[in-house]
Amino acid sequence: MFGWMVMVSVALALGAIAPPAFAQSTAPSPQALDAQWSGARAMKDIATQLSFGRRGIGTEGHAKTIEFIKRELAKAGAAKIETQSWTDDNGGSPLHLTNVIGRFDLMRTNRIIVGTHYDSIIRAYADKKNPQGPMPGANNSASGVAVLLETACALSKLPPSAYGIDFVFFDGEEGPKSLGAGDPDWRALGSPYFAAHLAQFYPEQKPTQAIIFDMVCFKELKLIPDAASVSFAEGEVDRFWNIGRQVAPSVFSSTTPGHVIGDDQFALAKAGIPSFLVIDPWFNTTQDTIDKCSAQSLDAVGHTLLRYLYSQ
Ligand SMILES: [Zn+2]
């Protein structure tokens, strides 16, 4: 072993060592990956979620979204679909919560989390005319769910990547008190619970990284890394944005970090997983409808994600 390591060191020093044969022989070309990921199909997944109506915690639409995610993961051939349910006391107003996890390539211990939240804001609090109105939630939260489901669908048609992928659909990202309607003491619920029970899913080693999507369908999408993500996972952010610039230069035009944005990346980073958020913050109004989204924006995000996963 020692001698072999010396040889490798020498070869590295001479710049002569090739990348592992596995990566070369089985990684599909960027074009082959793009061909399996359809923004038009992702738009349909957004439309389906909107047909469930309000999807805040405790609503009928919320329960329907859970069933929809499980059904689509099964169609995509996930090796395992798990739910993680618990009750948050919430100061005497209990909230019943469920994370949904779809796992691919279970044999691999090197794993990557691709996450989003599926609960939607309970009312359109930022709408000046109708703050009690329904929050359609095309961008926040249906777009993140659509990106994950379409990526799962693409994986089912491609050779395995070098890492096992876990799609995690977090509940309660919109927080406990106001269910997203402007609580100044906001805290995410689903991702901290998942992070606190990480060993149930990862008994041998923690995932190598987590990528979180939220609000990614806007027609004029501009993705800027949030400052917290850069501090949690600078190398990963750089690699993701580099690939993004090749896929859609106008969407990924800047890597200058923007504001800190609180989302599910925080709990996972706190648990020791390099984690970053992909988001273009939008307004939580009654106008968060599907006509503000485009298949092209979703393609930009989805193609970047798929190429990124196969470049690891
Ligand atoms: Zn969100």
Instruction: Report how far ligand 1's centroid is from the alpha carbon of 121 (Å).
Output: 8
Q: Are 143 and 49 in contact (CB under 8 A)?
A: no
Instruction: Report how far ligand 1's centroid is from the alpha carbon of 141 (Å).
Output: 5
CA-closest candidate to residue 169, choices 212, 203, 121? 212
The pLDDT, as a whole number, for residue 138 is: 97
pLDDT tens per residue, range 206-239 = 999 999 999 999 999 999 999 999 999 999 999 9
pLDDT tens per residue, range 157-185 = 999 999 999 999 999 999 887 777 878 88
Question: CA 38, 44, 49: angle at the middle one, nearest 5?
Answer: 130
C-alpha dihedral sign at 284, 289, 291, 294: positive
Instruction: Report how far ligand 1's centroid is from the alpha carbon of 187 (Å).
Output: 12
The pLDDT, as a whole number, for residue 9 is: 34
Instruction: Report how far ligand 1's centroid is from the alpha carbon of 312 (Å).
Output: 27
Instruction: Report how far ligand 1's centroid is from the alpha carbon of 12 (Å).
Output: 44
The pLDDT, as a whole number, for residue 18 is: 41
- 230 vs 175: CA distance, rounded Å: 24
The pLDDT, as a whole number, for residue 254 is: 86
Determine the straight-line distance between the first and last CA of the chain, rounded to whole angstroms: 25
CATH number for the domain formed by residue range(s) 28-310 = 3.40.630.10
Instruction: Report how far ligand 1's centroid is from the alpha carbon of 289 (Å).
Output: 14
C-alpha dihedral sign at 93, 66, 200, 265: negative
Instruction: Report how far ligand 1's centroid is from the alpha carbon of 120 (Å).
Output: 7
Per-residue pLDDT of the chain (312 residues; tens, 9 = 90+): 333 333 333 333 333 344 443 444 478 999 999 999 999 999 999 999 999 999 999 999 999 999 999 999 999 999 999 999 999 999 899 999 999 999 999 999 999 999 999 999 988 888 899 988 988 999 999 999 999 999 999 999 999 999 999 999 999 999 887 777 878 888 999 999 999 999 999 999 999 999 999 999 999 999 999 999 999 999 999 999 999 999 999 999 888 898 999 999 999 999 999 999 999 998 889 999 999 999 999 999 999 999 999 998
Domain ranges for the chain:
28-310
Instruction: Report how far ligand 1's centroid is from the alpha carbon of 213 (Å).
Output: 8
